[in-house]
A and B are shown apart, each in its own frame.
Chain A
Amino acid sequence: MTEEIKKFKLVGAGSSDIQEKIEKPALSFMQDAWRRLKQNKLAVISLWFICLLIVFSVGSIFVVSTKSANSFNSDEVVTYRNLPPKLNDSLPFWNGSIVYSGNTEANDAYADQSVPEGENFILGTDNLGRSIAKRVTVGIRISLLIAVVATIIDLIIGVTYGLISGFSGGKTDTIMQRIIEIIASIPNLVIVTMLGLLLGSGVLSIIISIAIVGWTSMARQVRNLTLSYKERDFVLASRALGESNLKIAFKHVLPNISGIIIVQIMMTVPSAIMYESVLSAINLGVKPPTASLGSLITDAQENLQYYPYQVMIPAIALVLISLAFILLGDGLRDAFDPKSSAD
């Protein structure tokens, strides 16, 4: 009995840490997003792929120079044209044999052209005897370079424009938005053609063209987000404490919208790559013999029926790169805003 009564002793409230005990450790926004991203297998694979791609591209600068890939020496006696990919004689498919149209049986192209033993072209050669593996490597480099630089320019111009437009509000905002609307109403092809004619073809002008065409969507998004954040209480609080607009923009608003900006970047890179390939296809792209993935595809277009690998290999490279960025972008978007796909 006394045991029982003891239990009814007045002890009062617990200590403050029991009172406010939180079960899970607090995670910062980025940590939380990273945890969510890791659960998305496709996104993680894409992330690895892109990292490897970047390492590969940078490393390849030392191994495969642009010149060696793109130049062809017409004086050279021995060039092996249009060789299919060959890794090893013993493999059933990657062994340098090809079915020429009209035939039903495969030919060993390497034997036909008397290629010396051991000289294998992993991805074959094109119609000028250049190694496709080397050309695709260089092509990836160039396509990535164009896409990344164009995206960075988009980012700087777009984010700045959007922040200014959103923060200024009122008439300035309206005028700035009208300008964007006008630019957006001009078909990209038109702008790019005009720039192409003006600046000539070549890597620099393509970068400028793509950047000019792409910054508007980033600016629009940033501006809309700025507007919605501008009215939030924490911004008003900062203003009440006397912080200047510039500081608020960079210290408070930008970190909050950085997630969406990152997602937008992930989506811009593949569209820049694709844009460049379209430009190359209409002869407003890189000047031959420089090769981007797009120009490789277009140059080999006429050979599609006879030597399909010349088109397929750069095409697959292009598609895989775009796919990786898009999947990563999707994953990031879900990671930053779990409500958008949650059950």
Chain B
Amino acid sequence: MKRETILNVENLNVTFQTYAGEVKAIRDVNFTLEKGETLAIVGESGSGKSVTTRTLMGLNAKNANLSGRIQYKGKDLSQLSESEWVNIRGNEIAMIFQDPMTSLDPTMSIGMQIAEPIILHEKISKAEALERALDLMKKVGIPNAEEHIKDYPHQWSGGMRQRAVIAIALAANPEILIADEPTTALDVTIQAQILSLMKDIQQQTDSSIIFITHDLGVVAGMADRVAVMYAGKIVEVGTVEEVFYNPQHPYTWGLLNSMPTTETESGSLESIPGTPPDLLNPPVGDAFAARNTFALDIDFEEQPPMFQVSDSHFAATWLLDERAPEITPPAAILKRWEKWNSKKEKR
């Protein structure tokens, strides 16, 4: 059941003016976010995931240039001034940062850091805000919160600090939570705890989450929909099921293949040879063409548009064009397609 769309990103382009030239970090990106859903954005380093999150918070560096529209609650965020952004950040859109060891002010108590956005956006007294901070600490699972509210970050472990960071993000009840690789810096057991915490909180608050990660396993566990980014563009987007079991873009195939599953046969793991292109001078055609074993002639000349696979599933690959030849994807992908077809029949 489709719920209301609260965020609509249209034709977003973000370039950075550097001494070497103009870096085109985000190139014509479109996506939407519905209320209560979790959208994952995956991609390798340099794909533009982090720039996307910074852009959604208005936190890009001064040498950034934006074009396009970011529709949120009737406002176009790409046009906001800094003084308008101050009302949005923390209040409507909040961010969970990646490294808990460096995201907290080492000289301010954790209780105050959690209370800060509350005091800022809700104009209540410090004492009341600290009360609310205490509740938040309990909500995120910090044991014996009363005793620890005056603690300083250096006294806590990484996992606990990340919970505090989550509490800070939740403090002013934002509509959208942006989580920028929130568990990458933590070990696997803590990671599982933090992820399950986020799921619980989402159910309680009905907030929407944009989840940035490079880990497809996390995507499978957390997300409703997933967008795959490469070289500043979204190459495939759909529900998690669609993208995992009916992937259409060769890059997605590569990503899925490089992830070991229980069915992976012994031998070496497949990786995608080569490196992402330099965004100072992006290639003329499809940015992935150079590394794409299934590239067509036209991939080197013209960028593929988004082809529709279903109501919710889109992929930007010339392979979906009716003029493209029939190709056989790798064996592991065929297996996924089989599963997909059998599931479809069941329905």
Contact = CB atoms under 8 A, between A and B. Distances in A.
Whether the complex brings A and B within 8 Å at their CB atoms is answered yes
B296 A11 contact: yes
Contacts of B278: 21-23
Contacts of B294: 10, 12
A24 B20 contact: yes
B321 interface: yes
Contact of A7 (B280, B292, B297, B327): B297
A19 B273 contact: yes
Nearest to B299: A11
A114 interface: no
B296 A10 contact: yes
B293 interface: yes
B20 A12 contact: no
A6 interface: yes
Given A13-B290, A343-B61, A4 B295 contact: no
A9 B325 contact: yes
Contact of A12 (B62, B274, B293, B301): B293
A14 B324 contact: no
A8 B274 contact: no
A24 B21 CA distance: 11
A11 B295 contact: yes
A18 interface: yes
Contact of B298 (A8, A13, A23): A8
A104 to B, nearest CB: 57
Nearest to B20: A24
A16 interface: yes
Q: For the complex, would chain A's binding face be called helix, strand, loop or mixed by DSSP majority?
A: loop
B63 interface: yes
A10 B292 CA distance: 10
Nearest to B290: A14
Interface residues of B, number: 30
B58 interface: no
Contacts of B274: 13, 16, 19-20
Contacts of A55: none
B277 A8 contact: no
Contacts of A18: 290
A8 B323 contact: yes
B293 A13 contact: yes
B281 interface: yes
A11 B277 CA distance: 19
Contacts of B61: 343
Which of A5, A13, A23 has the most B CB atoms < 10 Å from its CB? Answer: A13
Contacts of B295: 10-14
Contacts of A13: 273-274, 289-293, 295
Contact of A11 (B275, B291, B297): B297
B323 A343 contact: no
B277 to A, nearest CB: 7
B318 interface: yes
A8 B62 contact: no
A24 B298 CA distance: 27
Contacts of A10: 294-296, 325, 327
B164 to A, nearest CB: 26
Given A8-B296, A14-B290, A22-B278, 18 more contacts: A5-B323, A7-B296, A8-B298, A8-B321, A8-B324, A9-B297, A13-B273, A13-B289, A13-B290, A13-B292, A14-B289, A14-B291, A16-B274, A20-B275, A21-B278, A23-B278, A23-B280, A24-B20
22 contacts: A4-B323, A7-B296, A7-B301, A8-B296, A8-B321, A8-B323, A9-B296, A9-B325, A10-B296, A11-B297, A11-B299, A11-B300, A12-B292, A13-B273, A14-B290, A14-B300, A16-B273, A19-B275, A19-B290, A19-B291, A21-B290, A343-B62
